[in-house]
Amino acid sequence: MADRPVLFVTRRLPIAVEARAARDYDAKLNSDDRQYDADALIASSEGAKAILTCSTERFSGEVINRLPDSVKAIATYSVGYEHIDVNAATARGITVTNTPDVLTDATADIALLCLLGAARRQHESTAMLRDGKWGRWEAASMLGVHMSGKRLGILGMGRIGRAVAKRARAFDMKIHYSNRSRLSPDLEEGAVYHERPEDMLAQAQFLSINCPSSPETVRFLNAERIALLPDGAIVVNTARGNIVDDAALIAAAKSGKVAGVGLDVYHREPRFDPGYLDLPNAFLLPHIGSATEDTRDAMGFRALDNLDAVFAGKPAPDALN
């Protein structure tokens, strides 16, 4: 239909999401999942009323200022939006939206997987099997760190942080957290609040990083703050890779200060510090926190819900500006 808004989709998305986009919009799909540079993003946006993008495409201020006047909305298929200059979009009158809520449970599940994988030495155990080195049972072999009853520090107690805490309580873990502001008692559910994150680190036998990336949190977990952790702590990051100082965390994992590391996110991914690959006590995943069919479909539908609202003349539920 000629009157449907043109929608430029920058990545190949799940079948159900692309089917809905093609049903409701004049969708320019990326069936080959080609990678767009800045010039190609701008050229491919010609005539589009909206752009459905992912965190892999960077809409800097320069790119946004060069977008065609036809573009009225950018919907990102992600919760994080640091790849989009929202201020530049606002100045151009372009609505920017994200997809909160729908990936909370999937990401929290991965955080627990990382906590358990790092604590129970999954990488070393699997290597033992694959290398044919599993032999006679030994009472003092492959001893990991017990999670139950331990103290879990959560940096960032938003939706995902609270979902991690909910799962951790099933292990009778004692929850400590640091957040930009203290939660209400009903959301806190008995967790211990620390206004200074450094005070929380001193309690964190396990640490789960769940805060957004911001100027205040970039390289937050550096050598000085790692030193505040109890000896033999387990460190997990399922938020953003740049919150961790890679060199400091790798050094701590090598020295034994940190007993295990569980990561699903990395600085400058998919390129990441190769030093992690040399750590036998690192449980590493390739950013699959939201990678379930249900979640990825829900993310796409949420993005399209936002665009539907924009073109219906209604406020987008997840507008960032």
User: What positions carry a catalytic annotation?
Assistant: 240, 269, 287
- The SS3 assignment for 65 reads helix
115 is written with which tokens?
């906590």
Given a contact cutoff of 8 angstroms between Cβ atoms, the answer to whether 50 and 307 are in contact is yes
20 is written with which tokens?
């809905």
- The SS3 assignment for 175 reads strand
The closest alpha carbon to 117, from 37, 40, 208, belongs to 208
Rounded Cα–Cα distance for residues 54 and 243 (Å): 20
By the 10 Å C-beta count (0-12 exposed, 13-18 middle, 19+ buried), 199 is classed as middle
At 303, which amino acid appears?
Answer: A
Given a contact cutoff of 8 angstroms between Cβ atoms, the answer to whether 254 and 226 are in contact is no
Rounded Cα–Cα distance for residues 206 and 143 (Å): 17
14 is written with which tokens?
């799940």
